[in-house]
Amino acid sequence: MNEQQHRPSPAGELPDHVTQDAVVVVPGIMGSALYDTTTRKEVWGIGGISWLLRAWTTPSGLKPLAVTEDELAGKTGRIKATGLLKHSAWTPYLAGSEPYTDLVDTIGTSVAHPDAILEFAYDWRLPVAANGRLLADAARLHLTAWRRHPAHTEARRHRTDQREGRLVFVAHSMGGLVTRAALDPGYDGDLQTDTRGVITLGTPFQGSVKAAVILATGRGTPVPLPHRKLRAICATMPGLHDLLPQYRSLRAGDDVRHLTPGDVESIGGNAELTRAAARFHHGQKTIPLPGHRSVVGVNQPTWQNLTITGGTVTAHLDGARQNSDGTFIRDRHDRVRYFQVHGDGTVYKESAILTDIVTHLPLQHGDVARARTALDAVTEILRDDIHPGPPQGQAGCGLTAPDLVEAGHPWKLRLTGIDSLPGLTARLTDLSHPDHPTPPLPLTWEDGVATATATTPAPGLYRIEVHTPDGFDITQLVMSTEPGQTMAESEN
């Protein structure tokens, strides 16, 4: 943290924009580093691209992340969360997790002292409800300690009515669900009153089709080893089941219905965990989020619906839209009509919105807590301003690219929502050497879509970086492996 950001003015007072509130940063799934207390080894969030490659492309990598029978029975403690993600990490289907360093540093410019910030790490494998209670306890202790801090007293002097500091939660992805669970008045009846605001960044309040796709990986069609490994980890993971779609997402004939526990079991998931997730979400609907502001990724092609055939899942980039009475919009032939709403590539737009106070940004899911435009929105909200953001569909572009490629083999990335190529650039950066300059990828038109062909020279983790003429940056992480390595057989 830059000390100059918190240095008092010559008059001995804090800058006017500094808040007296305490901030809690809640990461998303796979956004906390995890440590196995039995083997005394870090099992997730370790720095180093070589570790990521080994973890996802060798049969025994990441086995400690699998949820045990004892953990399903509530006997937790084997795995301990040690901190927020500090390094870029890659996950199949989810493409990548960016570190939270920039988010925490940005929040630091708006608080009275670094001690005002709590980085809440948690075991994202476990149920959201269990982590919500841990967050409620941690937030209560954090607020109590902050209100006794000398910087809190100093910050109150220049705020309206010199009010006492309250809590502001800044939550990414699953972290928004954990935050809502923490604010359940049935656990801490005063926590909502002590909360000034909740900022959610790409939170899937209604779930994500990607969760169902992950559970079905490897059933029906050959898929790369990393994707099969992710399914093996998630098959009995309560946290992943809590991310299943809670809206009518399953196409069945000329209808779209809710996923049932039997549906999830048929694709490789756990029926009982699906029931528990549905009960949990039903109870959460009545819990308000005080001062809620959503930062929502848009313009990215995003799965909205799915079909299941013989245990195989097919995901769709469009979804049914309901009328106010719950019926579906239909075409002139009385068939369900489907619409492409888009989203952040993981969470479709309508799943991430609870209120009308929304900032729409053309960002991928992994970048919605890191991109400068998102950090600017968080800053304005922390400083008591509402940042409306650009209107949906009027800025940026959509990015589609594979999440896993083979070194030396060409592949394509596609940019949607683009009318012209001048001023549009796309680069591929090797994160082993992030400071090495790379030339822009040549862009051409293919079937009316801006397209670039790229090749990774060696195995490793790479970042696609797209800059649009209107000033937006859209990024995605891509894992590159040795040719043929990712299709190796996994352990039974």
Instruction: Return the minimum-mean-pLDDT range out of 28-37, 152-161, 325-334.
Output: 152-161
Cα separations in angstroms, 89 against 7, 143, 152, 352: 34, 31, 35, 23
Band (pLDDT 50/70/90 cuts) for residue 337 is very high
pTM: 0.92
Percent pLDDT > 90 in the chain is 73
462 closest CA partner among 482, 434, 424: 434
Band (pLDDT 50/70/90 cuts) for residue 7 is very low
3-class SS shares of the chain: helix, strand, coil, % to 5: 25, 25, 50
Could you give the domains of the chain? 3-201 (3.40.50), 209-287+298-342 (no CATH), 398-483 (2.60.40.10)
> pLDDT of 17-38, one tens digit each?
899 999 999 999 999 999 999 9
**Whole-angstrom Cα distance, residue 391 to residue 378?**
17
Band (pLDDT 50/70/90 cuts) for residue 356 is confident
Per-residue pLDDT at 484: 77
Residue 196: pLDDT above 70?
yes
Band (pLDDT 50/70/90 cuts) for residue 386 is low
What strand order describes the sheet that includes 195-201?
117-119, 22-26, 167-172, 195-201, 292-297, 358-361
Average of per-residue pLDDT values in the chain = 90
Residue 223: pLDDT above 90?
no
Residue 382: pLDDT above 70?
yes
Residue 4: pLDDT above 50?
no
**Whole-angstrom Cα distance, residue 112 to residue 456?**
44
DSSP string, 151-174: HHHHHHTTSGGGPPP-EEEEEETH
Partner residues linked to 292 by β-bridges: 198
Residue 13: pLDDT above 90?
no
| Residue range 300-326: mean pLDDT, rounded | 93
Per-residue pLDDT at 157: 87
> pLDDT of 104-151, one tens digit each?
999 999 999 999 999 999 999 999 999 999 999 999 999 999 999 999
Per-residue pLDDT at 9: 47
> pLDDT of 226-248, one tens digit each?
888 899 899 999 999 999 999 99
Per-residue pLDDT at 218: 65
Instruction: Return the minimum-mean-pLDDT range out of 117-126, 262-271, 320-329, 378-387.
Output: 378-387
Sign of the C-alpha dihedral, residues 479, 482, 483, 487? negative
Question: Nearest 5°: CA angle at 156, between 155 and 159?
Answer: 100
90 closest CA partner among 122, 123, 64, 55: 55
